[in-house]
Amino acid sequence: MPRIHLDSLVKRYGQTEVIHAIDLTMEDNEFTVLVGPSGCGKSTTLRMIAGLETVSGGEIYIDERPVSLLEPKERDIAMVFQDYALYPHMNVAKNMSFALRLEKRPRAEINQKVTEVAARLGLSDYLHRKPAELSGGQRQRVAMGRALTRDASTFLFDEPLSNLDAKLRGQLRAELALMRQQVQKNMIYVTHDQIEAMTLGDRIVVMQDGYIRQQGTAETLFKEPASIFVAGFIGSPPMNLIQGSLQQHNDNLVFVASGIRLELPDDIAARAHANNNIDAVTLGIRPSDLVLVQSPDRAAPDNTDAAQTLSLQVLLSEYIGAQSILLTQSGEQQLRVELISADRVAPGETLLFKPRPGSIHLFDTTSENRI
Ligand SMILES: Nc1ncnc2c1ncn2[C@@H]1O[C@H](COP(=O)(O)OP(=O)(O)OP(=O)(O)O)[C@@H](O)[C@H]1O
Ligand SMILES: [Mg+2]
């Protein structure tokens, strides 16, 4: 039985429709992540589920019960907001137990819950401090703790890590993932950070302009993006997307763009033939899927088939530790390549690269859909 179901959900502000009849089913105990660029409608969707925004059309079902007319407190939901606000006069323990105290839960139960959640969030030493005596990251963790002490069946998070530095974000992300393994709850998590989405979500829902563009596991979205938008949005550094056309050459279908000629693998060629009215195509290849085929002494290996390689001139090499990101050029195209840093390359060098087998994505430039 699905736990939460959005059925043709619509949101309008005055004349402007910002959520366009989206359908979404979240299974029991699933961690769902809504991800997409700023303004795509993530918070609005979450706030409708929580009951903080009215619904303009369609329905929200929780456990098969329509809830769009219920008050927020009747929905058995706890929410952590993008802009958290703690009670400044209460210490951490009091802030975290606020909802439980309102519900008049027994003191022993409250203490146990606060102790447990504080330990999980690394806040045990701060229980007696006031918010003003905490760092931004600690405050954000208290805001999260305030929701997690609650016994709700569904937890909604709206960018709960947005105010943290990279290190703390990483720590809390791991903390959430661990907690996720321990407590079986429905969680819906909003972020515009695709790394957060990929690492946390069982199901990732990519939104754009008030539409759901694709949903699936991190692996599905990464390996089979359904559109140019999803391809460019998921993955870091982003996928190289090159506009060009298709040409038949003997038995092979070849992708052609300024400075690039690449023979397409048979499966993609077959799919492209099946869509025979496509002329403008976009080829996608991830920076990590371009493999250096030249040996370290720069001698070209004898068995390289030129039709399956790209000759790219290195413009820049950015060292980021174990990997280096190369900015390269061929004709008018600029491509990024992720290389292990041990393969030392210098700007100005021209090198041969080969796409990893199965790593080429092809899209119809007009419809933007995957071929
Ligand atoms: N109260 C409102 N009145 C009118 N338009 C609104 C209102 N709230 C949000 N919008 C519009 O609805 C759209 C979706 O906004 P929403 O806050 O859901 O985006 P978001 O995906 O959460 O973005 P961000 O990542 O920046 O938080 C935006 O175009 C926004 O301008
Ligand atoms: Mg938002």
Q: Using CA atoms of 339, 341, 344, 348 in order, give the dihedral in degrees to the nearest 10.
A: 50
Ligand 2 (ion): residues with CB under 5 Å are: 43
**Quick check: 256 and 244 in contact, CB under 8 A?**
yes
**Quick check: 285 and 268 in contact, CB under 8 A?**
no
Nearest ligand, CA 158: 2
pLDDT, residue 298, reads 58
Instruction: For residues 96 and 89, give the distance between their C-alpha atoms in angstroms, rounded to a whole number.
Output: 13
Domains and CATH numbers, the chain: 4-233 (3.40.50.300), 240-364 (2.40.50.100)
Site to substitute for ligand 1 among 19, 43, 49, most atoms within 8 A of C-beta = 43
pLDDT, residue 1, reads 45
**Quick check: 101 and 136 in contact, CB under 8 A?**
no
Tokens (6 digits) for 263: 């023979």
Ligand 1: residue whose CA is nearest its atom 16: 41
Which atom of ligand 1 approaches the CA of 207 most closely? 21
Instruction: For residues 278 and 276, give the distance between their C-alpha atoms in angstroms, rounded to a whole number.
Output: 6
Which atom of ligand 1 approaches the CA of 37 most closely? 25
**Quick check: 96 and 117 in contact, CB under 8 A?**
yes
Instruction: For residues 371 and 57, give the distance between their C-alpha atoms in angstroms, rounded to a whole number.
Output: 33
- Phi/psi region, residue 234 (left: phi>0; alpha: psi -120 to 50; beta: rest), is beta
Tokens (6 digits) for 37: 């660029």
Instruction: For residues 81 and 50, give the distance between their C-alpha atoms in angstroms, rounded to a whole number.
Output: 11
Instruction: For residues 168 and 264, give the distance between their C-alpha atoms in angstroms, rounded to a whole number.
Output: 43
Site to substitute for ligand 1 among 42, 53, 191, most atoms within 8 A of C-beta = 42
Instruction: For residues 215 and 199, give the distance between their C-alpha atoms in angstroms, rounded to a whole number.
Output: 15
Reported for 149-153, long-range contacts at CB under 8 A and 24+ positions apart, including other chains, are 149/96, 149/97, 149/99, 149/100, 149/113, 149/114, 149/117, 150/78, 150/99, 150/100, 152/76, 152/77, 152/78, 152/185, 153/3, 153/76, 153/77, 153/185, 153/186
Ligand 1: residue whose CA is nearest its atom 19: 39
* Pocket lining: 195 vs ligand 1, CB cutoff 6 Å: no
**Quick check: 36 and 45 in contact, CB under 8 A?**
no
pLDDT, residue 4, reads 92
pLDDT tens digits, the chain, 371 residues: what are they?
458 999 999 999 999 999 999 999 998 888 999 999 999 999 999 999 999 999 999 999 998 899 999 998 888 888 887 667 789 999 999 999 998 998 899 999 999 999 999 998 889 999 999 999 998 888 888 988 888 888 788 889 998 887 778 887 888 888 788 777 777 788 899 998 888 898 899 999 999 999 999 999 999 999 999 999 999 999 989 999 999 999 988 888 999 998 899 999 999 999 988 887 677 999 999 999 999 987 545 565 555 566 788 999 999 999 888 889 999 999 889 999 999 877 788 889 999 999 999 999 999 999 999 99
